[in-house]
Amino acid sequence: NGVRATGIIWGRNTMADGEGDPGVFTATALPGDPRLLPTVTNAFLGTRVFRDILHAAGVYSGAAGDTHRADVPSPLGLRMAAPGARSPAQSFTLNTWTGEQGAGTSPGGSAEPRLFLLLRLHPSIGMEKAPSFHPVEGVFEGWSWREHLDAPASQSRRAAPQDTWMFPNILLLHPEAARAILRYRIRTLEGARRNAREQGYEGAKFPWESAATGREVCPEEIYGAQEIHITGDVLMAFEQYYCTTQDQKLFQEDGGWELVEAVAQYWCSRMVWSEEEQLYHIRGVMPPDEYHSQVDNSAYTNAVAQRSLNFATDLARDLLLLAPEEWEDRARKIKVPFDEERKYHPEYDGYSPGEPVKQADVVLLGFPLMHPMSAEVRRNDLEMYEPVTDPAGPAMTWSMFAVGWLELKELQRAWSQLEKCFSNITEPFKVWVENSDGSGAVNFLTGMGGFLQVILFGFTGFRITRSGLLFDPAFPDGITKLKVSSISYLGNKLEVTITREEIRMEVTETSWDPPASPLEAVLESGQRFPLGEGMAALPASAPWNNLGRNHSHTHTKLFCCRAECLLPHSARMDPEVAQQAP
C-alpha cells in the first residue's frame, strides 16, 4: 500500500545537527504539556509522538457533534530504557523538511548508535514534485481533523475556517490540491441544500462544522445557525481558484456551477427588503467576531454575500448561462454598514465604537475580501478595531492586521502585529496553539494559515483578482530579501525573488495539458516584461503594476495594482478595464 517506516539511527550528539537549520528543531527535553508534542501524519495515519494511539482517516466513533477519530492502538510509541546506566543524554529533533520526528540517547556516554523506528508514510507528500500518494484528494481528506490533532478530542468534522485561512496558501502553491478541496464542497452540496431547507431558505447553506455528508454537526447550535458567512467564504474560494486557473471544467462538468448557483439562491432567500433604507438586509447573524450574535447587517457577512452574487453573475456570463436579474440587483442594493461621518465600517447595525471584539472581522473587508474602499477608510477600519480586539483572541487575527498595515506601507505597525503571532508558537517544536495563553486548539491550522498569508500575500502584496494577479511588495525593517518558489498561476510555475533593489521573476515550469498561458509582467507605467521560461529582472523602485497572460494565445489578462504584475505576453491593457480592476 505504499506504507513504509523509516529507521533513524542516532548516537551521541547526532540529533543536534539541526542547529541553525530553520526547518529542524532540536531539544534536550520534551515539553511538559503532552499536547505540545509534535504530530507525525501523512493525511491518512497520524500520531502524536510517544503516544500509544494512532488516528486513521475514515475511522470514527460517535455521532453528529460528538463524532471523533477513533483511537487505534499504536505500535510506534516505543521508549527504550538502560537499567543501571548513568542518566543518558537525550535529544529530540523534529525535521520539517522531511516530515520526520526523531529521538536520540547516549546511554552512559556511549556513542553506540541506537535505532528508533518512526512512522513516515508517503513521505513525499508536500516534499517533492511528484507525490507518491494518489489520488490527490486523499491528501486533503485528512484535513477533516477538526483544527488540530488533540487526542482524544480530535474531530472528524471539518471546521469552517479552512476556506478563508488555509485555502489561499494552498491555491498559490498547489492548485491541484486546492481543486480537491473544492471537489469536497461539491460532493457535500446536497447536505448543504438540506441545511438551508431546514432553516426555511432556498439554495445551499454550508455548515460551520461539516460531517462527511455536508450536514451541520456543530455541537453549539448558535454557530451553525448564525455564522452564515461561511457560505460566502466557500464561494470566495471557488472564485479565487477560477481566477488563478481559468478551469471552466470544474464548473461546467464537475458540479461547480450547481454549487455557485445554489449559494446565490441562498443569499437571495436570506435577504429581506427594508422599505425605510431601500436596501436589502441580512438579519439575525453572528459575524466573524463571535462575541456578538443575533445582529443585523454584519458588514463582513453582507459584503461576502455581495461578492458571492457578483461572482455568480460574472461566471454565468463566462459560461454563456443566463443568470437571474435579481442576483445583480441584490448585489447592488445590499446594505454594507458604513459611517459617513467617521469614514469607517461599523461591524454591524448598532455597533458602538470602542466595543470589544473577539477577532479579525471588519478588517477582513480589506483582505481577503478586497471590498472597494479608499486608503483612508482602510486605515480608519484598522485604527478603529486594532485597540478593541481581544489580545487573547485567536492567532490569525494579528496576521490580518499585519496585512492591512503592509497594504498602507505602515511597516513598523505591520511588524508589531505580526510579532503578536509568535506568542501562539510553543517551544521547542513550534507547535501552534489557538490562544496566546496556550489554551484552545493545538496544531491550530487557522493560525498557521493566517501567518503564511502575511508572507504570501502581505510581504509580496499578491492579490487574486478577476482582472489579474496583483502584487505590491512591502518589507518591514530587517527583511532584505524574499524568495517564493512554485507559485502557480494559469498553468505556470513561478519563482519570485524580491529585494530592495529589484524583483526577479522566473517561469520555471509550464503545463502542456491544458497549455499554460504565456505571461508578462506589467508596470504601472505600462512597461512590459515578457516572461517565458527564464528570468526577468524588474526595478524595485518603479511603480508596480501586475501579472497577466498573453492574448495571442487566447488567454485572459491579469493586472497588478501598484506592484509588478504578470500579464499575457501580447496583452494590451484596456484603459477602461484597467480602471475597473480592484
Residue positions annotated with a catalytic role? 290
Contacts by 2-5 with C-beta closer than 8 Å and gap 24+?
Answer: 2/121, 2/122, 2/132, 2/133, 3/45, 3/121, 3/122, 4/120, 4/121, 4/123, 5/117, 5/118, 5/119, 5/120
Strands of 135-252 (E only): list them: 158-159, 209-210
Measured from the Cβ of residue 495, the count of other Cβ atoms closer than 10 Å reads 16
Nearest Cα neighbor of 500 from 521, 476, 480 is: 480
The rounded Cα 27 to chain-centroid distance in angstroms is 30
229, 308 Cβ separation under 8 angstroms: no
* Residue 487, phi then psi, degrees to nearest 5: -70, 130
Instruction: Report d(CA 582, CA 566) in Å as an integer.
Output: 15
Contact assessment for residue 118 and residue 76, using Cβ atoms and an 8 Å cutoff: yes
Q: Kind of pairing, strands 53-56 and 60-61?
A: unpaired
The answer to whether 103 and 92 have CB atoms below 8 angstroms apart is yes
Residue 350 region by backbone torsions, left for phi larger than 0, else alpha for psi between -120 and 50, else beta? left
Stated as kind and residue range, the H or E segment containing 262 is: helix 256-270
What one-letter code names the amino acid at 129? K
The single residue listed with the C-alpha cell 481533523 is 145
